[in-house]
């Protein structure tokens, strides 16, 4: 359960939230994205108070403004790499030509242009997470939420994915919030917050 959370994340900032398992990190992402609504208080993303939206309004807001990166990739196994990246663009009603152009551009940027017709089970873990990054970034979200983005990768693949995420998010001016228990992931952030027993506090460097 989250208690008395009071935090501001600035546009273009990269923030990591660290804490032990079960401390509420995933719940925090659910509240920020409007999947869950807090009993009290407000959640404002991109100048929109999402606590004032109904369920459909929150769903549409997420589609337009938030990109998600998950620990276990969450790719659809029956869709190709290109089709996985196209899906959120199609849900936004973007025309076929522009959405293919956007999907291919971000796949090329992530070094996956040659794998566009492959299916997820033919990819390595690092490649699957890069596809997940492409899917999260293709529609140009205001904010990217990453839930243990390297938790299912070996050290080398994890470092590569983090470097790509950091470079692409900063280049595009997105806001990035990562929840993690990994110090390596936290080192990429501009600022680190600690979550314990549902409360957030800044982590001060020694």
For the record, the structure tokens of 91 come out as 């849900």
Q: Is residue 107 part of a domain?
A: yes
Q: Is residue 38 part of a domain?
A: yes
Q: Is residue 53 part of a domain?
A: yes
- The tens digit of pLDDT for each residue in 38-68 reads 888 899 988 899 999 999 999 999 999 999 9
Q: Is residue 128 part of a domain?
A: yes
Q: Is residue 3 part of a domain?
A: no
Q: Is residue 6 part of a domain?
A: no
Q: What is the domain range of residue 173?
A: 14-202
Contact between 49 and 42 under an 8 Å Cβ cutoff? The reply is yes
- pLDDT value at position 171? 84
Q: Is residue 59 part of a domain?
A: yes
DSSP one-letter string for 2-43: --S------TT-EEEEE--TTSSHHHHHHHHHTSS--SSS--
Contact between 38 and 51 under an 8 Å Cβ cutoff? The reply is yes
> Model-level pTM?
0.89
CATH number for the domain spanning 154: value is: 3.40.50.300
61 Cβ neighbours under 8 A, 6+ residues apart: 34, 45, 48, 50, 53
- pLDDT value at position 196? 81
Domain count, the chain: 1
Q: Is residue 108 part of a domain?
A: yes
- pLDDT value at position 148? 87
For the record, the structure tokens of 31 come out as 């509240």
- pLDDT value at position 206? 41
pLDDT in tens, the chain (206 residues): 787 788 889 988 999 998 877 778 888 899 999 999 888 889 998 889 999 999 999 999 999 999 999 888 899 999 999 999 999 999 988 888 999 999 999 999 888 989 999 999 999 998 999 999 999 999 999 999 999 888 888 888 888 888 888 888 888 888 999 998 888 888 889 999 988 877 888 775 54
């Amino acid at each position: 359960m989250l208690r008395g959370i009071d935090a501001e994340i600035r546009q273009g900032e990269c923030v990591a939230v660290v804490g032990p398992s079960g401390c509420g990190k995933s719940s925090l992402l659910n509240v920020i994205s409007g999947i869950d609504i807090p009993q009290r208080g407000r959640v404002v993303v991109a100048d929109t108070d999402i606590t004032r939206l109904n369920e459909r309004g929150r769903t549409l807001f997420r589609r337009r403004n938030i990109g998600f990166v998950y620990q276990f990739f969450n790719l659809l196994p029956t869709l190709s790499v290109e089709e996985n990246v196209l899906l959120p663009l199609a849900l936004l009603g973007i025309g076929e030509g522009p959405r293919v152009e956007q999907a291919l551009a971000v796949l090329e940027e992530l070094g996956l242009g040659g794998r566009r017709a492959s299916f997820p089970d033919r990819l390595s873990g690092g490649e699957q997470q890069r596809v997940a990054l492409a899917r999260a970034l293709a529609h140009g979200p205001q904010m990217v939420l990453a839930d243990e983005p390297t938790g299912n990768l070996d050290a080398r693949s994890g470092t590569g994915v983090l470097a790509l995420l950091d470079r692409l998010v900063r280049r595009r001016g997105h806001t990035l919030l990562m929840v993690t228990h990994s110090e390596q992931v936290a080192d990429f952030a501009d600022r680190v917050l600690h979550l314990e027993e549902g409360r957030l506090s800044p982590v001060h460097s020694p």
